[in-house]
Structure 1
Amino acid sequence: MSSIQVRPATLRDAKAIAEIHVAAWQDAYRGLLPDTTLDSLSVQKRQAFWREAIDLCEPQVMVAHLDNEIMGFVGFDRSRDKGTPSTTGEIWAMYANPVHWDKGVGLALWDAARDGLQEEGCTKVTLWTYLRNERALRFFELAGFKRELGSAKTTEVSGTRIEELRLQRSLV
């Protein structure tokens, strides 16, 4: 049996990344965000976003694949949070196709992002996630991330207020 491989994303991957992004949002955030919001997500808009991100390398995007089937993706770069040192990296997005959840895709993506951030000289990494996203919280806490006290904030997504919090961990 072959194992999950991770490689830098190419422009050809943008559609598969967009399809995974939409499917993962629709599955993971059902009950957190309104159904109308989730049902109206556009693969075409996400594809345009990810094509530009891949083209500009902002963030760096990598895909996990098995037998040439893209199973998930991660976007990472320097932290976007104001006031953070240049040695702080951030996971901007990390999603696996729901049909591949619990199969090691997230771990493969996290390992690749960690290595990429370390190569960039980052000594710490952060990410933002929804407070009620228990699957993501469980995954990242098992990967060594800790909740940052006092980081919780309320954001609005399509008219719905939702709590986010920042997680962080050392890379050294």
Structure 2
Amino acid sequence: MTSAAAPQVREMTLADVDRVSEIRVRGWQWAYRGLMPQSYLDALSVAEDAERRRAGFGRGGPGVVNLVAERAGTVVGWAALGPYREGEVLTEEAELYALYAAVEHIGTGVGRALLQEAARRAEALGHPAMRLWVLEGNAPARRFYTRAGLHADGAEEPFEVAGVTVSEVRHGGRLPLEGSFPTAL
């Protein structure tokens, strides 16, 4: 864990894609160890993730926002948000699509800064609430979101990863968030 000054949050640019992909892939490999097949996690490729991310950059649709957190000019976290997807239908609520801190920066306020800014942006875009999906077995992330005011609402959704069914649970809350914004993540 690296301790440092509060991160600065800004909109992601195309130049950030490689670092964001590195943070995302390494984050999956670290956080989902034991929750998903190890062979799947080991096969994740930063280069392939960056290629997909670069190809789709700026095409997320209306209201989609990608944010990065920086410390000393280095990207140390990433978050993405946009309209909540109920199947193929976009709703008036916001969805936090992703939030990742670089593994060496977990617990240093990166996740908190990104979540606070994502919630602020969602509220500014007129969303009355925010929802997100998190792996059921990812207890640290679930505690983080619950402390921030995003509580499990009982909805669950299974998906398959390398032939193994993994369950996600939905968390949500009204905006502005009224949680404590813990430092973990």
**TM band (smaller chain):** over 0.9
Q: Would you say how many aligned residue pairs link Structure 1 and Structure 2?
A: 171
Find the residue that maps to 2:117 and give its secondary structure: helix
Q: How does 1:101-116 map to 2 (within 5 A)?
A: 101-116=106-121
User: Unpaired runs of 5+ in structure 1?
Assistant: none
Q: 1:34 — aligned with what?
A: 37
Selected match of 2:171 from 164, 167, 171 = 167
Selected match of 2:149 from 144, 160, 171 = 144
Inter-CA distance 16–135: structure 2 relative to 1 (3 Å threshold): same
Q: 1:82 — aligned with what?
A: 87
Deviation at 1:34, TM superposition (A): 1.1
Deviation at 1:103, TM superposition (A): 0.1
Selected match of 1:157 from 154, 158, 161 = 161
Whole-Å Cα distance in 2 between the matches of residues 10 and 152 of structure 1? 33
User: Unpaired runs of 5+ in structure 2?
Assistant: 177-185
TM-score, normalised to structure 1's length? 0.93
TM-score, normalised to structure 2's length? 0.87
% identical aligned pairs: 31
Q: 1:125 — aligned with what?
A: 130
Whole-Å Cα distance in 2 between the matches of residues 109 and 53 of structure 1? 22
Selected match of 1:61 from 51, 63, 66 = 66
Whole-Å Cα distance in 1 between the matches of residues 50 and 59 of structure 2? 14
